[in-house]
């Protein structure tokens, strides 16, 4: 059996580095991706927003992680339900820029991923 593929639904946020300063970007906490990789999964970052290909992409995932910022959950919930993909909704207030890989790893228990 291959490694599970876990999507992380990114948030749209202005950046604060280099030529991207102040421009909207698709972002997700690096510590969350590291925790998923440490659990042995492959990480796929999904850009936020309407995407007619989302349902097809979801069928390639074993699970999807969404940081609940109020809009992301609504945007993907129906597509996830239709595809039978496991979804873990994390409270965006609990996974902050200061969250460590270990903090994120504790949150992954809802997906059944054992982080080493």
Per residue in 25-42, pLDDT (tens digit) is 888 889 999 999 988 899
Q: Looking at residue 43, what is its pLDDT? A: 95
Q: Does domain 5-111 have CATH number 3.40.50?
A: yes
Specify the pTM.
0.83
Spans of all domains in the chain: 5-111
Q: What are phi and psi of 65, to 5 degrees?
A: -110, 130
Question: Could you tell me what percent of the chain has a pLDDT over 70?
Answer: 89
Q: What whole-number distance in Å separates Cα of residue 18 and Cα of residue 4? A: 34
Residue range 53-77: average pLDDT? Answer: 77
Residue range 56-68: average pLDDT? Answer: 85
């Amino acid at each position: 059996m291959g490694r599970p593929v876990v999507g992380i639904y990114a948030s749209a946020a202005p950046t604060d580095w280099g030529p991207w300063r102040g421009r909207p970007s698709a972002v997700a906490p690096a510590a969350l991706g590291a925790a998923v990789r440490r659990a042995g999964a492959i990480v796929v970052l999904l850009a936020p927003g309407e995407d007619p290909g989302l349902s097809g992409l979801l069928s390639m995932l074993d699970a999807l992680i969404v940081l609940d910022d109020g809009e992301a959950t609504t945007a993907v919930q129906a597509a996830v339900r239709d595809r039978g993909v496991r979804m873990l909704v994390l409270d965006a207030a609990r996974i902050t820029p200061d969250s460590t890989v270990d903090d994120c790893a504790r949150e992954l228990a809802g997906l059944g991923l054992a982080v080493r």
